[in-house]
Amino acid sequence: MKKFVTHRGTAAPLLKINIDTDAIMPSREMKTVSKTGLGKSLFASWRFIDRGTDQEKLNPEFVLNQQEYSQASILLTGRNMGCGSSREFAVWALVDFGIRAIIAPSFGAIFFTNCIRNGLLPIVLDEQVIASLADYVALNPQANQLDIDLKTCHVIGPDGMTYPFELQSGFQVMLLEGLDAIDVTNKLGKEIDAFKTTDIQKRPWAYLN
């Protein structure tokens, strides 16, 4: 998994509330089990007009299709981002598209965890702060980029203002070191062995071959 330590990038405002996983990655687009290539289906129902027909074309009004946001790597969204089904394809599509962080007032719980597991940083900030950042970015999206420092858990706005955010220390380590769940388990090898040594004395029947 790709490490996340610091990041500077263009932020695209998509300030809808309740963006569910089917909007992020429509079920009809899930035609493979590979994580590669899913970015082309991200927000397919919004990014395209007449999707899947001979008349298919990009929707010029959708933010990620606009030239100034075409290289966006950060999303600014409304509350309850990633609600709906536990569709990990949604996170895979975001990562494949090049999104490194999402800033929202709140997230769907399963979506939040799936982001962490796939190297995508979910950041919770106040709704008013996000609206202010979106307004500032919109003045000149490519010049007014955002900086994110995961070590200190701060977002730095284009004007130099800093906004702290919170993240569980375990999640922070996973992202900083690029660890997946198996890597985390392997790192805890000594602790697991110590627990097993103690537990086998208490519950020997649990370790019968």
Specify whether 118 is located in the same domain as 84. Answer: yes
For residue 209, pLDDT over 70 is answered with no
Specify whether 115 is located in the same domain as 191. Answer: no
For residue 119, pLDDT over 70 is answered with yes
- Whether the predicted model's global pTM rises above the 0.85 cut: yes
In a domain, 42, yes or no: yes
Question: Which domain does 190 fall in, by range?
Answer: 179-209
Angle between helices 88-97 and 109-117 (to 10 degrees): 50
Specify whether 14 is located in the same domain as 35. Answer: yes
Residue 155 is predicted with a pLDDT of 98
**Contact predicate 176/4, CB 8 Å:** yes
How many domains are contained in the chain? 2
In a domain, 185, yes or no: yes
Residue-wise pLDDT tens digits, 124-153: 999 999 999 999 999 999 999 999 999 999
In a domain, 1, yes or no: no
Q: What span, in angstroms and rounded, lies between the C-alpha atoms of 121 and 118?
A: 9
Specify whether 203 is located in the same domain as 152. Answer: no
Output phi, psi for 94, to 5 deg.
-60, -45
For residue 154, pLDDT over 90 is answered with yes
Q: What CATH number is associated with residue 70?
A: 3.20.19.10
Q: What span, in angstroms and rounded, lies between the C-alpha atoms of 92 and 41?
A: 10
Specify whether 137 is located in the same domain as 203. Answer: no
Residue 42 is predicted with a pLDDT of 96
In a domain, 143, yes or no: yes
pLDDT range class, residue 114, cuts 50, 70, 90: very high
For residue 192, pLDDT over 80 is answered with no
Specify whether 127 is located in the same domain as 184. Answer: no
Specify whether 79 is located in the same domain as 163. Answer: yes
Tokens 């129902």 sit at which residue? Answer: 45
Specify whether 34 is located in the same domain as 115. Answer: yes
162-165 contacts, C-beta under 8 A, 24 or more apart: 163/125, 163/129, 165/123, 165/124, 165/125
Residue-wise pLDDT tens digits, 41-60: 999 999 999 888 888 999 99
